[in-house]
Structure 1
């Protein structure tokens, strides 16, 4: 892209656009946690959304190698080598994914095909299914109540509004605001201090020069931090295997959220202090893990403790939020839900 007219714009629009897309996805997921969009009868919507999220992460990983920068090269080498932790078939599996003994042109060609053709087609299918499932049961609302319980004489929900023009105008405003922010970053600070594009990735891939710290882009760093938090070599199979399992479990547990949440109400407006406190701790922990995933684990970038120690604390809090959810959501003292949407 450096060798074509306007290539800089295409490159920055692509890289910044990817980060903005993940910002929107994370905000969308957070809103779901706030208002109970994962609860019945929207379990299928949540599951399809989580499949979309995982597929987006795969798309980001496959595309990350394509610039063939030094950080891209070594990042791909590290992530693919994680498959080597699988007992018995690990080394052969990692070699099969790479298509070679090391990351090479064979890896680049197959990742290009995945990034440009296969994964976008899968994303398109999942987006379609996500929207179909949404239209089947209807959207949620900040009160978390079922508007179909109150209908007019024609059978339409009293608190329902048409998708057009209400939602389209609202969403167009959101798109305009996000596009303004995106283009401002593209034109003025496309690297955003190394968060959207790392300095090491402007250097061509070099098999003889390893970057000081090999880290993925920010939207994958919370899970990378969980991976590095497991340092106990006394575990059966070693720390690497359990780190990979912890990272995988951190993603898989999100799929079970609709059945872990046992609260009688959906929206945070009517939940008690336990869920509000747990959700606050979870968000702070997720952001902290994301930050620590970009830092050297042996350094001290937060207060007093090494980064790896904070990551281990974050790992415990992250999983406690989900595994203890059936208990604290059932024990929490909630407020009664209104019969109609409040409009607040």
Structure 2
């Protein structure tokens, strides 16, 4: 589905001249106009385009903000305030960028859950999934570095706590922490390192996104029924059907995004970060941004030693393991059927997993004490059990529903059901 003969025909002399030397119009036509996509795609498949749009917006607003930012501990907090008050439209740029990070993660979580629900990681799309997980990892690193830059209370203490967990790693932990901090404590070298990395990583992310799109176009798009394309009637050209679908999805997404930017710009942030960083005053509850809260809950859930592994190292391993296990999903799922539409046992477990992830996010915002710890441990247990127990086991015991013979048949069945 990713290959085929090009149907592009230049219509002008300039077009023919350019096509013979640098065929960019042919590339755009073949990959974004005439590219065949399954005819049964739904709006859940719009978030790939939305993510590309949000990445571009984050890079553009980030570059402009960097022109007015000062990566110095004595200037950073006031530099952000100056952007908000004295730079033309600086308040808009900052709110677009800060809320854009949150909406970037909203889109990526929906995109990943869609992949898990419809089995978009199964052969021949394993590398496509791995590249997507790599993008997610780069996003997390970029967001963590960016959270430190305002140099508020939560920025300072979040960096202190998170980098401190690296010391739990045997042999190299202290070295990794000092490499990140540029010394023995969060200070000016730390801010300079994080600013440089926060500026660099989005461009690395853009490079991996290009590889991700390339891999997608080589193996072809998955679809809600998880059936491979079998005939020309199973597909339509990307433009206009898929383009219009993605455009409508993007408009709705942007309307919600704009509502937060203009009416609730600080809702997704933490109030403590509007106080300048003070190494002598610790906030009552140190928490990361909301999109890291599920992983923070997993980190704090390990309050016991596991043999020679103490609780601190166990928490770090669990947190990193919660991301690492995503890379292994294509090989953990043993089912022959892709889509959860035809998997009666997997579907309720998947929705329980979604609810559990949201629950972990809430627990991450609570104090690490009392019943919250017990609930975090149970939720963490289900998080890992879904991947390492349910996915391999269901492929052996689950009896899937009958699949349609083709994408066209699935579409016609849906039309008749109406």
TM-score norm. by structure 1 comes to 0.92
CA contact (8 A) 1:275 1:329 kept: no
CA contact (8 A) 1:56 1:123 kept: yes
SS of 1:161's equivalent?
strand
Give the alignment of 1:278-297 within 5 angstroms.
278-297=349-368
1:330 deviates by: 2.2
Q: Distance in 2 between matches of 1:132 and 1:237?
A: 41
User: Which residue is equivalent to 1:277?
Assistant: 348
1:198 deviates by: 0.2
Q: Distance in 2 between matches of 1:237 and 1:141?
A: 43
User: Which residue is equivalent to 2:404?
Assistant: 338
The answer to whether the aligner puts 1:242 opposite 2:314 as a matched pair is: yes
Give deviations 1:222-242, integer Å, cap 9, x for gaps: 111000000014642410001
CA contact (8 A) 2:120 2:338 kept: yes
User: Which residue is equivalent to 1:2?
Assistant: 81
SS of 1:2's equivalent?
helix
1:281 deviates by: 1.8
CA contact (8 A) 1:270 1:335 kept: yes
User: Which residue is equivalent to 1:87?
Assistant: 170
1:277 deviates by: 2.3
1:283 deviates by: 0.9
Give deviations 1:2-52, integer Å, cap 9, x for gaps: 212322222211111111110000001111111111111111110000000
Q: Distance in 2 between matches of 1:146 and 1:74?
A: 50
CA contact (8 A) 2:305 2:314 kept: no
SS of 2:81's equivalent?
coil
Q: Distance in 1 between matches of 2:100 and 2:233?
A: 39
- Structure 2 alignment gaps of length 5 or more: 1-79
Give deviations 1:183-242, integer Å, cap 9, x for gaps: 1111111122xxx21000000110011111111111111111000000014642410001
Q: Distance in 2 between matches of 1:327 and 1:178?
A: 37
User: Which residue is equivalent to 2:117?
Assistant: 34
Q: Distance in 1 between matches of 2:198 and 2:192?
A: 10
Give the alignment of 1:108-147 within 5 angstroms.
108-116=191-199, 118-147=200-229
SS of 2:403's equivalent?
coil
Give deviations 1:161-184, integer Å, cap 9, x for gaps: 111122221111111111111111
User: Which of 109, 119, 135 lines up with 1:52 in the alignment?
Assistant: 135
TM-score norm. by structure 2 comes to 0.76
Larger Cα-atom Rg: 2
CA contact (8 A) 1:2 1:8 kept: no
Give deviations 1:115-157, integer Å, cap 9, x for gaps: 11x211210111000000000011011111001x2x2xxxxx3
Q: Once superposed, which parts of structure 1, at least 4 consecutive aligned residues long, lie more than 3 Å away? A: none
Q: 165-174 or 241-250, which moves further after superposition?
A: 165-174
1:93 deviates by: 2.1
